[in-house]
Amino acid sequence: MRSFINYSSDSDFSIHNIPFGVAVFENEYIACCTRIGDMVIDLATLYDYGFFDDIAGFDENVFESYTLNEFIELGKPVTNAVRLKIQEILGEDSKLASDEKTIAECFYNISQVKMMMPVHVPNYTDFYSSIEHATNVGKMFRGEDNALLPNWKHLPVGYHGRASSIVISGTDIIRPKGQMKPPEADTPVFGACRQLDFELEMAFIVNTNTEMGDSISVADAEDAIFGMVLFNDWSARDIQSWEYVPLGPFLGKNFGSSVSPWVVTLEALDPFRTTSPVQNPEVLDYLKFEGDKNFDINLQVYLQPENGAETLISSSNYKFMYWNMAQQLAHHTVNGCNVEVGDMYASGTISGENPDSFGSMLELTWRGTKPLYLEDGQERKFINDNDTVIMRGYGEKEGVRVGFGEVSGKILPAN
């Protein structure tokens, strides 16, 4: 496929992608949009001009909404048809290519718009599905012989997080405060987090509502998943390590998570499907799956000090995930837990086997015992005030590139 819009060969937003987001355009006008190259396209106006009239079941301009929820709730028969129609009208020989009036009204350079949260997130769940990450953390806190707890290879471990503090890329994060118990102290202290960390994750977004008591099977799970975003689940390691027993993360996690603005559909990611790691021991029947459920998505983390250059500190890949999305959603709902349109399900930290593929500062510096160094020689054990963390992700195969852009966040001093 070729488009009449020019873009570089390494653009995340090729005609093979067609992601969805929400933007503030000129005159504070807000609408759902898509992107190709550096051009952001107002889908609400395209709808008004009749470009989607031939799509069955698409009888209302849901692109006028401030979120994608209404659109993705229409289900894949509609959303997939819309994506294919957008690819068609962006083709080099389409009628739109010579429609200067519509192009002038609907196409904006990315520098002319401000991206918003793409969805309203009713509920948020964070999983713990990278075996390399779970093993690394287990070694640090429990020792080599007890790295993985007995349940880890039998079910996708997860916890319910705080949806209200999920924010769009570019939003500053204030360093959290809380209780910590330093190793040398007999009693806890209160103060600003001293071990602030990022977690390299991806998240999927569901397109359906279910009733309490219903469940979604592994076989049906992908029909309920609209697409994915990059996800940085900020973590206060010293607060978390003191509070997490016996009920798990709380203040160490709920102060903020950052997401990328563009939702990339599963259909756009199809070319990058790959086999999953072997699951041993064999999982229970409700978690068994067929076909390729993992995705080969390159992931990178950069750390940028204030007024400094970016330093690449991690190169990982989503294909390392031990538990896949279909298994995660099936397990999440097997007890009858109901889901809602826009729910966000994060993967948990994504780490590979090599030290340069670890997905957190906790692992990269091995709990601060092995500092890393930035391009300008600065040392880091964890994230300092005024540091910016940037994550990028893309799939690339046989000349087809589909990416997510980036998710970034700057750490501000504690209030």
Domain map (residue ranges) of the chain: 21-115, 124-412
**d(C-alpha 38, C-alpha 128), whole Å:** 34
Residue 401 main-chain phi, psi, to 5 deg: -125, 130
Residue 259 bridge partners (DSSP): 168, 231
What are the structure tokens assigned to 375, written together? 């391009």
Judge: domain 124-412, CATH 3.40.50.1580.
no
Q: CA 88 from chain center: how many Å? A: 27
229-263 burial string, b = 16+ CB within 10 Å, else e?
A: bbbbbbbbbbbbbbbeeeebbebbbbbbbbbbbbb
Quick one: pLDDT at residue 26? 87
36, 90 contact by CB (below 8 A): yes
331 has catalytic annotation: no
Please name the fold of domain 21-115.
SH3 type barrels. (2.30.30)
Quick one: pLDDT at residue 141? 87
Closest CA to 157 of 138, 135, 134: 134
**d(C-alpha 307, C-alpha 310), whole Å:** 10
What are the structure tokens assigned to 26, written together? 């000129």
Q: How do the residues of the chain divide into helix, strand and coil, expressed in percent and rounded to 5? A: 25, 30, 45
Q: How many CB atoms lie within 10 A of CB 66?
A: 14
* 21-115 and 124-412 agree in CATH topology: no
245, 252 contact by CB (below 8 A): no
Going by C-beta distance under 8 Å and a sequence separation of 6 or more, which residues neighbour residue 270?
none
Catalytic residue among 16, 120, 133, 332: 133
H/E stretch holding 204 reads strand 200-206
Going by C-beta distance under 8 Å and a sequence separation of 6 or more, which residues neighbour residue 408?
169, 170, 258, 388, 389, 390, 391
Residue 391 region, left (φ>0) first, then alpha (ψ -120 to 50), else beta?
beta
182-207 burial string, b = 16+ CB within 10 Å, else e?
A: eeeeeeeeeebbbbbbbbbbbbbbbb
286, 218 contact by CB (below 8 A): yes
Question: In a structure prediction context, what are the per-residue pLDDT tens digits for the chain, which is 415 residues long?
Answer: 899 999 999 999 999 999 999 999 988 999 999 999 999 999 999 999 999 999 999 999 999 999 999 999 999 999 999 999 999 999 999 999 999 999 999 999 999 999 999 999 999 999 999 999 999 999 998 888 889 999 999 999 999 999 999 999 999 999 999 999 998 999 999 999 999 999 999 999 999 999 999 999 999 999 999 999 999 999 999 999 999 999 999 999 999 999 999 999 999 999 999 999 999 999 999 999 999 999 999 999 999 999 999 999 999 999 999 999 999 999 999 999 999 999 999 999 999 999 999 999 999 999 999 999 999 999 999 999 999 999 999 999 999 999 999 999 999 999 9
Residue 236 main-chain phi, psi, to 5 deg: -100, 95
DSSP codes, 62-78: GGGSSSSHHHHTT-HHH
Helix, strand, or coil (residue 109): strand
